[in-house]
Structures are given as structure tokens and as C-alpha cells.
Amino acid sequence: MFIFILTGIITTAFLLSIYCLHAYLKAGGQKLVWWKWVLSILWMFMTYIVFGFIGTSIGEGSSGAALRGGAFFMIFVIAGGVLFYRFILPRGAKAKK
């Protein structure tokens, strides 16, 4: 039962973050075109898979694999997040700050 509640909370957080990204880009005068939708959903799905891997590894009792594998895969998630930031957010966001 706990896993269903946790999955619902994480999925809701991901969907809420996509909605907030859409609202942020709309306020900045930029459209969220199809490839930006696909990129954001893929990045969030990748993050979801990494946390699933870590949780499954801990549940199986191999915390070393969770640590090493989680750190290895998290590098790709962070790199994807940086690319996500560079390609999705408007160029004027850095100049306004």
C-alpha cells in the first residue's frame, strides 16, 4: 500500500512540475512545443527510473549496488537536467536575473 501512495506522490510531483514549466514558459512569452514536451517527459521518466533502481536495490539488500549504480546513473540525470535547462528555458532568463 505504501508503494502506491509513494508512486502517486512522485507522479503528481512530476506532472505538477511539467505544468509549472508550461506556465513559466507561457509567462515568458515562449511556447512549449512538442519536442520540449518529449524532452521534459523523458528526463522525468529517467529520474523516476533511477530512483526506482535505488529503491529496488535497497529492498533487495544490496546497498552497495544502490550507492554505486545510483551515483553512476545520477550523473546522466544531472547531465540531462543541465541540457534540459539550456534548451528549454528561454534565453532571456539568465539576463533578467
Q: What is the pLDDT of residues 28-61, one digit of tens each?
A: 787 778 888 888 888 888 888 888 888 888 889 9
Which residues constitute the domain of residue 40? 2-90
Domain membership of residue 95 (yes or no) is: no
Whether residue 97 is contained in a domain is answered as no
Give dist(CA 58, CA 16) in Å, integer: 28
Query: 47: how many CB neighbours lie within 10 A of its CB?
Result: 19
**Residue at 96 is within a domain:** no
- Alpha carbon separation from 22 to 3, 38, 52, 58, 79 (Å, rounded): 29, 13, 26, 35, 22
Q: At what angle do helices 63-88 and 34-59 cross, to 10 degrees?
A: 170
Mean pLDDT of the chain: 82
| Domain membership flag for residue 56 | yes
